[in-house]
């Protein structure tokens, strides 16, 4: 069976898949990631994971495609990727001392067959002062990460606690759920 195609150019997701011994081809999904009016963060993550998988699956008939998306939720509102240093500072200041939910969806699609799952991670941020935020953003430049941090790096220092079932979900791809989906699709994994 051919390896799945990753509907992403994220090096973080690619590195996670390589943990499973997979060497996927990567394809940019070209999906508009704008939330729909009133769309809940979990629903947004699931919709975008499905849209990414579908966009690439349409160009790769007969191949399994993995789409994934993560949306951070603070007080019921979605937080996207900050995109700028100022945006990262603002997000981290808003999350200071707060519990933030991270919805990480994964979709596996081949032609019309669609399998998906969504993982929930809750992160308790410690109280962050402006100097800590500035040092962190300067050190890691987390501008392409939902929630403005990289938990696999220095971002872990921003937390008091993490509550989840799958530690890889917070990095951007829930491998436990993905392994279940891959086995359901016919892949042989350990």
pLDDT tens-digit map of 51-60: 999 999 999 9
Domains of the chain: 5-184 (3.90.950.10)
Residue 70 is given by DSSP the state: E
Task: Determine the Cα–Cα distance for residues 47 and 139; give it in Å rounded to an integer.
Answer: 32
Of 93, 96, 119, which is closest to residue 107 (Cα–Cα)?
A: 119
Helix (H) and strand (E) counts for the chain? 5, 7
Active-site residue list = 69
Whether residue 48 is predicted with pLDDT greater than 90 in this model: the reply is: yes
Strands 113-125, 159-163: parallel, antiparallel or unpaired by DSSP? Answer: antiparallel
With 0-12 CB in 10 A as exposed, 13-18 as middle and 19+ as buried, what is 18? exposed
User: Which pTM does this prediction carry?
Assistant: 0.91
pLDDT tens-digit map of 106-126: 999 999 999 999 999 999 999
**Which residues have CB under 8 Å from 55's CB, separation 6+?**
7, 29, 30, 31, 67
Whether residue 68 is predicted with pLDDT greater than 80 in this model: the reply is: yes
């Amino acid at each position: 069976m051919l390896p799945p195609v990753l509907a992403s150019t994220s090096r973080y997701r690619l590195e996670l898949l390589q943990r499973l011994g997979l060497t996927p081809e990567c394809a940019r999904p070209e999906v508009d990631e704008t939330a729909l009016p009133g769309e809940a963060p979990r629903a947004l993550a699931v919709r975008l994971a499905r849209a990414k998988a579908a966009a690439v699956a349409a160009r790769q008939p007969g191949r399994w495609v993995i789409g994934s998306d993560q949306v951070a939720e603070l007080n019921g509102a979605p937080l996207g990727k900050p995109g700028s240093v100022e945006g990262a500072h603002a997000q981290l200041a808003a999350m200071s001392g707060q519990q933030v939910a991270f919805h990480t969806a994964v979709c596996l699609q081949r032609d019309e067959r669609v399998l998906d799952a969504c993982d929930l991670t809750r992160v308790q941020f410690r109280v962050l002062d402006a100097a800590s935020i500035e040092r962190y953003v300067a050190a890691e430049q987390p501008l392409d990460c939902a929630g403005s941090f990289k938990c696999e790096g220095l971002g872990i220092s921003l937390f008091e606690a993490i509550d989840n079932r799958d530690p890889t979900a917070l990095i951007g791809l829930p491998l436990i759920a993905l392994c279940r989906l891959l086995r359901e699709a016919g892949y042989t994994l350990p």
